[in-house]
């Protein structure tokens, strides 16, 4: 099986035909989705295919699927693996290289799969191991890789390890988790929790366990006890799990909550956060707001990731060739911390730690985007950035960037930032059609427990996890008519759906498809450096993609609701432009000195 046989010929012939948006939309399927050549490759091509296998992740398009919500194939109202398999052609058409599956392992589903009770199986709600193998095989045929979510910070409290661990203080699994006596604990009194650490989902991170009379630590829900990474047996147990899935052919992993593996060994209290008046305050869960320096981003994670990278780099097989990519869920305070996640020289860690600093600015502020994009270009030692603007834990793009009037245009702006900058791009199912955040309106409808703790200030994450909107028919094509989907289909499905947008050349879907094709096929776009242009402008963000031997590309993005004109200058260029892509209604500029943009308009042109 040959996953990513994108030959140079395919790319060159595509570029020749790729001039403007119309050409982009009418052209052959995206390079990423080309079928594998039927015969063995001649030597030169075999070599380039081999390096394509190794480098597949460097300019890749990754798509997050929340399996519960993507496609239900068996009519129980819950999405499943066979549903995803049925929709692979759609993802191929979009230009996706790899799918990150949120957890599909057996789980009590308290945190909808992030509480895992068996790491080497598939939850019956989602299918079977045979369904998983078929998904991998069918995805491979389309040159799409499957990435698993790997949750190593905690397990479910129903996992056998924890069941053993909590059964007695002398059980061999006792020190697989984080058990501590309470403060002031006596034979008769459990005392207070060992310190002030809080769960990210509200209230104390310590849970009293009466049977063995100790507290256990949980960074997330009570049902998600943290494992003890100071125990070498945990390292071995997780390598065994990672190896199990690598052998099955997964293309890599997204490591969940990876910055929280370790805690302060001295167990010191977290510092209390102060507001602008110097006073402590309460968060959405009613708790005193705390910093998290004792429980997040401790240095111990680095050697662990070096160990897992070295382990996963040993996997290669003719059946599943190519790099197995390690992605980190890395919410970090600054670019220096992000840079560390790639690992020191000779000791690599993540291939792609998520850069959440660009995508979660959550405000269309030109100066901030310019600064953060510049950081990622200059301060990660030439590594590959992983840009991401959206996922299953945050309100969707409309809620964080939209203005309620120009939301589709603003999504064109955001997706341009995602795909037209250097690096790998990760986006969330439904973004490509403009699905909107649709939170529950009544507390009794909330499914995500954090929404119950935080109601009404924090309504939980149901709003960004609603069923994929495939068409305007019953249940939006997500599940059969007459079945209640696990979360309600948002009312927008009648107009915001795949079927309607696939046939509309001016749709958001068409825009995503065009940007992805450009990213995959234009050399400056695929591998060029990012150089910021017009750097004093506070309304329009402009940059250039520049690669040796390839024509440079300029990109201008209007961050405002008013038309703007920009004048760019590119050293050594005559000033003429050939339009590659522009938002609907935009015009072809006469020159670099006269780029006119409609409200939230985007222009992408090749410099002549």
Residues that bind ligand NOJ (CB under 6 A): 111, 114, 151, 220, 256-257, 329, 392-393
Q: What's the CA gap between 543 and 420, in Å, rounded?
A: 9
| CB hemisphere CA count around 24 (13 angstroms) | 26
Q: What is the largest CA-CA distance in the chain?
A: 84
Residue 138 vs 337, nearer CB to ligand NOJ = 337
Element (H or E) spanning 310, and its range? Answer: helix 301-313
SS (H, E, C) 324-342: CEEEECCCCCCHHHHHHCC
CB of 329 to ligand NOJ, least distance (A): 6
Residues 6+ apart with CB under 8 A from 307: 235, 239
CB of 460 to ligand NOJ, least distance (A): 10
CB of 594 to ligand NOJ, least distance (A): 45
Q: What's the CA gap between 159 and 108, in Å, rounded?
A: 10
**Closest Cα partner for 4 from 54, 41, 65?**
54
SS3 260: helix
Residue 33 vs 225, nearer CB to ligand NOJ = 225
CB of 256 to ligand NOJ, least distance (A): 5
Residue 296 vs 411, nearer CB to ligand NOJ = 296
Residue 388 vs 526, nearer CB to ligand NOJ = 388
Residue 114 vs 350, nearer CB to ligand NOJ = 114
Closest residue to bound ligand NOJ by CB: 114
**Closest Cα partner for 448 from 201, 94, 262?**
201
Residue 372 vs 392, nearer CB to ligand NOJ = 392
CB of 261 to ligand NOJ, least distance (A): 12
SS3 212: coil
Residue 33 vs 67, nearer CB to ligand NOJ = 67
CB of 64 to ligand NOJ, least distance (A): 10
- In 10 A of CB 504, how many CB atoms? 11
Q: What's the CA gap between 226 and 261, in Å, rounded?
A: 8
Q: What's the CA gap between 511 and 519, in Å, rounded?
A: 12
Question: Strand 206-209 and strand 214-217: pairing?
Answer: antiparallel
Q: What's the CA gap between 236 and 253, in Å, rounded?
A: 17
Q: Mark out the alpha helices in 344-496 (DSSP H runs).
A: 356-359, 366-378, 397-401, 407-419, 449-454
CB of 393 to ligand NOJ, least distance (A): 5
CB of 91 to ligand NOJ, least distance (A): 21
Residue 256 vs 375, nearer CB to ligand NOJ = 256
Residues catalogued as catalytic: 256, 329
Q: Mark out the alpha helices in 184-300 (DSSP H runs).
A: 232-247
Q: What's the CA gap between 438 and 488, in Å, rounded?
A: 9
Q: What's the CA gap between 562 and 568, in Å, rounded?
A: 19
DSSP class of 2: -
Q: What's the CA gap between 441 and 488, in Å, rounded?
A: 11
Q: What's the CA gap between 39 and 46, in Å, rounded?
A: 11
**Closest Cα partner for 553 from 534, 586, 581?**
581
DSSP class of 288: B
DSSP class of 462: G
CB of 149 to ligand NOJ, least distance (A): 8
CB of 462 to ligand NOJ, least distance (A): 12
**Closest Cα partner for 4 from 204, 159, 140?**
140
Do you know the residue count of the chain?
608
**Nearest-10 crossing angle of helices 232-247, 301-313:** 30
Residue 87 vs 392, nearer CB to ligand NOJ = 392
Q: What's the CA gap between 84 and 286, in Å, rounded?
A: 39
Residue 329 vs 407, nearer CB to ligand NOJ = 329
CB of 257 to ligand NOJ, least distance (A): 4
**Closest Cα partner for 86 from 529, 384, 498, 561?**
498
Residue 100 vs 509, nearer CB to ligand NOJ = 100
CB of 205 to ligand NOJ, least distance (A): 13
Q: Mark out the alpha helices in 420-558 (DSSP H runs).
A: 449-454, 498-502, 508-521, 523-527
Residue 126 vs 525, nearer CB to ligand NOJ = 126
Q: Mark out the alpha helices in 58-153 (DSSP H runs).
A: 81-86, 88-94, 129-141
Backbone torsions φ then ψ of 43, nearest 5 degrees: -50, -50
- Please name every residue paired with 597 in a beta bridge, in sequence order, or none if there are none: 564
């Amino acid at each position: 099986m040959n996953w990513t046989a994108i030959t140079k010929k395919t790319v060159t012939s595509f570029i020749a035909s790729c001039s403007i948006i119309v050409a982009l939309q009418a052209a052959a399927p995206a390079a990423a989705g080309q079928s594998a050549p039927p015969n063995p490759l001649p030597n030169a091509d075999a070599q380039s295919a081999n390096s394509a296998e190794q480098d597949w992740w460097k300019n890749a398009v990754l798509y997050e699927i929340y399996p519960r919500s993507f496609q239900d194939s068996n009519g129980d109202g819950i999405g499943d693996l066979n549903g995803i398999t049925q929709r692979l052609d759609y993802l191929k058409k979009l230009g996706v290289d790899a799918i990150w599956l949120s957890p599909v392992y057996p789980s009590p589903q308290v945190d909808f799969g992030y509480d895992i009770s068996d790491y080497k199986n598939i939850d019956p709600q989602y299918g079977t191991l045979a369904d998983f193998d078929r998904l991998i095989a069918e995805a491979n045929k389309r040159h799409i890789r499957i990435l698993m979510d790997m949750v190593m910070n905690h397990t479910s409290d129903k996992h056998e390890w924890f069941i053993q661990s909590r059964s007695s203080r002398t059980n061999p699994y006792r020190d697989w988790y984080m058990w501590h006596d309470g403060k002031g604990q006596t034979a008769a009194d459990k005392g207070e929790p060992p310190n002030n650490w809080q769960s990210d989902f509200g209230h104390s991170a310590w849970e009293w366990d009466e049977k063995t009379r100790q507290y256990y630590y949980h960074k997330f829900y009570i049902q998600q006890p943290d494992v003890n990474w100071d125990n070498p047996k945990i390292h071995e147990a997780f390598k065994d799990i990672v190896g199990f899935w690598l052998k099955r052919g997964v293309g890599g992993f997204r490591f969940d909550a990876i910055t929280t593996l370790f805690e302060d060994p001295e167990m010191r209290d977290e510092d209390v956060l102060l507001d602008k008046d110097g006073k402590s305050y309460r968060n959405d869960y009613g708790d005193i707001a705390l910093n998290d320096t004792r429980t997040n981003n401790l240095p111990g994670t680095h050697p662990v990731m070096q160990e897992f990278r070295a382990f996963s780099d040993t996997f290669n097989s003719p059946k599943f060739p190519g790099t197995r990519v390690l992605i980190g869920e890395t919410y970090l305070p600054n670019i220096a911390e992000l840079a560390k996640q790639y690992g020191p020289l000779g000791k690599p860690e993540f291939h792609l730690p998520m850069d959440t600093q660009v995508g979660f600015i959550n405000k269309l502020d030109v100066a901030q985007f310019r600064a953060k994009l510049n950081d990622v270009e200059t301060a990660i030692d030439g590594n590959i950035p992983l840009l991401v603007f959206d996922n299953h834990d945050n309100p969707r793009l409309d809620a964080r960037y939209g203005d309620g009037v120009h939301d589709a245009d603003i999504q064109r702006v955001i997706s341009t930032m995602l795909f037209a900058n250097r690096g790998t791009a990760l986006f969330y199912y439904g973004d490509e059609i403009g699905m909107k955040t649709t939170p529950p309106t009544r507390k009794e409808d909330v499914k995500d427990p954090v929404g119950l703790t935080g109601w009404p200030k924090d309504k939980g994450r149901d709003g960004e996890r609603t069923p994929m909107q495939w068409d305007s028919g019953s249940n939006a094509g997500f599940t059969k008519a007459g079945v209640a989907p696990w979360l309600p289909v948002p009312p927008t499905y009648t107009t915001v759906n795949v079927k309607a947008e696939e046939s509309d050349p001016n749709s958001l879907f068409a825009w995503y498809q065009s940007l992805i094709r450009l990213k995959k096929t234009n050399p400056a776009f695929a591998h060029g450096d990012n150089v910021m242009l017009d750097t004093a402008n506070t309304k329009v963000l402009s940059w250039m993609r520049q690669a040796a031997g390839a024509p440079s590309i300029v990109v201008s993005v209007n961050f405002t609701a008013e038309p703007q004109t920009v004048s760019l200058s590119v050293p050594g260029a005559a000033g003429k432009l050939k339009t590659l892509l522009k938002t609907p209604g935009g015009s072809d500029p006469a020159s670099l000195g006269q780029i006119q943009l409609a409200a939230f308009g985007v222009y992408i042109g090749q410099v002549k």
